[in-house]
């Protein structure tokens, strides 16, 4: 029962990816130890069970992070797709799983790229973190203006949708989630 409470506490901490990653590994280690103790007295088998549980937990967290990142990229591409070159639109994403911050910004199309049957666009977009209100926190001071980051990417039409086409828009921004 306690590992479930720990997992719930970890999910309540958006933006703490390092803590979440390490916490997931620790929680998986505890769960693996509990499972292996119930199954075997053999140390090698117990270690194998622990490593297996930890690997599954880490893969699950990475899958969730990639899914959230894809949703953010799809939001930017959807906002940019119908624009004319030079036009500016707003985009935003509110994640349903609170393990990453919500973001918003603006996007513009800098140029059209393509050829026969290939419709792509180079885009420039900004990213701002949306500050979630903390439960029970008093609004003492007005919020400061968020820091903005600017990035470039390429999107391409895939049927009726515009999809992210850049393999690596900015390593600093997306990290190892590609």
Quick: pLDDT tens for 108-163: 999 999 888 899 999 999 999 886 665 665 555 566 666 789 999 999 998 899 99
Q: Are 63 and 93 in contact (CB under 8 A)?
A: no
Classify residue 144 by burial, with Cβ atoms within 10 Å: 0-12, 13-18, 19+.
exposed
Q: What is the DSSP letter of 75?
A: H
Classify residue 24 by burial, with Cβ atoms within 10 Å: 0-12, 13-18, 19+.
buried
Please indicate, yes or no, if residue 178 is contained in any of the structural domains: no
What is the reported pLDDT for 26?
Answer: 57
| pLDDT > 60? residue 173 | no
Range of the domain at 127: 1-170
Please indicate, yes or no, if residue 177 is contained in any of the structural domains: no
What is the reported pLDDT for 80?
Answer: 95
- Read off the pTM: 0.64
pLDDT level of residue 31 (50, 70, 90 thresholds): low
Q: Considering its fold, how many domains does the chain have in total?
A: 1
Please indicate, yes or no, if residue 176 is contained in any of the structural domains: no
CA 107 to chain centroid? 19
Q: How far apart (Å, rounded) are the C-alpha atoms in residues 90 and 140?
A: 29
At 141 the three-state DSSP class reads: coil
- pLDDT: is 55 or 40 the higher one? 55
Q: How far apart (Å, rounded) are the C-alpha atoms in residues 113 and 157?
A: 11
Q: How far is CA 41 from CA 13, 33, 48, 49, 97, in A?
A: 36, 11, 12, 12, 38
Residue carrying structure tokens 């624009």? 83
What is the reported pLDDT for 99?
Answer: 74
What is the reported pLDDT for 46?
Answer: 67
């Amino acid at each position: 029962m306690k590992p479930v409470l720990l997992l719930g506490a970890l999910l309540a901490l958006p933006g703490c990816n390092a803590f979440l990653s390490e916490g997931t590994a620790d929680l998986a280690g505890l769960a693996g130890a509990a499972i292996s103790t119930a199954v075997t007295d053999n140390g090698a088998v117990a270690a194998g069970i622990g490593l297996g549980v930890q690997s599954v937990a880490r893969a699950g967290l990475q899958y969730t992070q990639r899914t959230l990142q894809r949703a953010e990229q799809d939001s930017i591409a959807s906002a940019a797709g119908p624009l004319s070159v030079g036009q500016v639109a707003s985009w935003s994403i509110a994640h349903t799983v609170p393990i990453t911050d919500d973001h918003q910004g603006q996007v513009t199309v800098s140029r059209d790229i393509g050829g026969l049957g290939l419709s792509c666009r180079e885009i420039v977009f900004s990213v701002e973190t949306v500050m979630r209100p903390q439960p029970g926190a008093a609004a003492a001071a007005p919020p400061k203006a968020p820091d903005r980051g600017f990035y470039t990417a390429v999107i391409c039409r895939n049927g009726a949708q515009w999809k992210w086409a850049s393999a690596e828009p900015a390593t600093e921004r997306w990290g190892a989630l590609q």
